[in-house]
């Protein structure tokens, strides 16, 4: 893996290129809109589109009336969409790909199946364009604050060409390998995140029954072998980690329905390889329960509520 300044250009050179580069952005949801705004703020000529009128109204960047209009004469076409079928439809059916400049670059930052990514790459190549997959980690906060991590798959020159965009939207970029490698790493990352969250939720509930102050648990475990990103940033108890979704009623985080989708993609890949992922299947079944109760829009850490006991709250003065 290679990280950091993959574009290989100096600061002045990047600024000159940004002023000239036109970006057609398709998908202005909770992640796509703030990412596109950061590109716009960095000096790129960004034109966005989303099928949702409200998303277009709230985008905070110039928007077009159609995907074709957003992509017209674009040097780079970016897709940030919910599923592989949507990505394929934009590239194969909407006319947006043909509206972009000949030889343009297509960057897909959606989280989709590896097979869908490779199919999208084939569509792009047949149109004489270049493709990279670049899913992200960091959630909506990372999208707003331009601190995302990009996991990128594609040819060296294509990844380098996209480097200035990644630098404007994120803090780290990793070139994981050829097309599909970025999506593969993203699925693996989210698999580990979800299982880690389940174990942390179980520890949080057990801590309550044992009378352990959760803030003390976080402080101590963060220096021990139980340490994790979830523990320090996403602890599922209100008032322990101020920035965690649990301190906002499990809102404005990584929606359970999206994690459910991502774990499904991981399980599909495992099935194709003849592998069993029992922990992942268990966590996905818990997300099934959350969604069946109408809470699929809550952050995935809300699975803590399915464990049959209320986690202990932080005591006054802790941490």
Kindly list the catalytic residues.
186
**Cα(192)–Cα(114) distance, integer angstroms:** 18
Task: Read off the tokens for 45.
Answer: 């000529």
* Paired strand residues for 173: 150
Residue closest to 203 by CA, chosen among 193, 192, 189, 217? 217
């Amino acid at each position: 893996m290679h990280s950091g300044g993959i574009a290989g250009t100096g600061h002045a050179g990047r600024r000159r290129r940004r002023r000239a580069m036109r970006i057609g952005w398709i998908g202005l949801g909770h992640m796509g809109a703030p990412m596109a705004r950061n590109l716009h703020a960095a000096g790129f000529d960004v034109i966005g589109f989303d099928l949702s009128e409200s998303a277009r109204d709230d985008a905070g960047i110039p928007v077009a009336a159609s995907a074709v209009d957003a992509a017209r004469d674009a040097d780079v076409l970016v897709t940030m969409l919910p599923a592989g079928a949507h990505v394929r439809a934009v590239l194969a059916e909407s006319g947006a790909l043909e509206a972009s400049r000949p030889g343009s670059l297509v960057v897909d930052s959606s989280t989709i199946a590896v097979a869908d990514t490779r199919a999208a790459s084939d569509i792009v190549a047949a149109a004489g364009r270049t493709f990279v997959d670049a899913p992200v980690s960091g959630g909506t906060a990372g999208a707003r604050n331009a601190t995302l991590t990009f996991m990128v798959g594609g040819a060296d020159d294509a990844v380098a060409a996209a480097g200035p965009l990644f630098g404007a939207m994120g803090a780290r970029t990793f070139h994981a390998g050829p097309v599909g490698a970025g999506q593969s790493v993203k699925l693996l990352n989210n698999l580990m995140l979800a299982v880690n969250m389940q174990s942390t939720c179980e520890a949080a509930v057990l801590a309550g029954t044992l009378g352990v102050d959760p803030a003390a648990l976080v402080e101590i475990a963060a220096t021990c072998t139980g340490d994790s990103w979830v523990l320090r940033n996403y602890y599922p108890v209100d008032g322990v980690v101020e920035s965690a979704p649990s301190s906002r009623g499990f809102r404005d985080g990584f929606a359970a329905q999206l994690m459910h989708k991502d774990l499904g993609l991981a399980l599909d890949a495992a099935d194709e390889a003849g592998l069993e992922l029992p922990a992942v299947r268990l966590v996905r079944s818990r997300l099934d329960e959350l969604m069946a109760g109408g809470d699929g829009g809550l952050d995935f850490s809300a699975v803590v509520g399915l464990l049959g006991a209320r986690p202990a709250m932080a005591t006054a003065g802790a941490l």
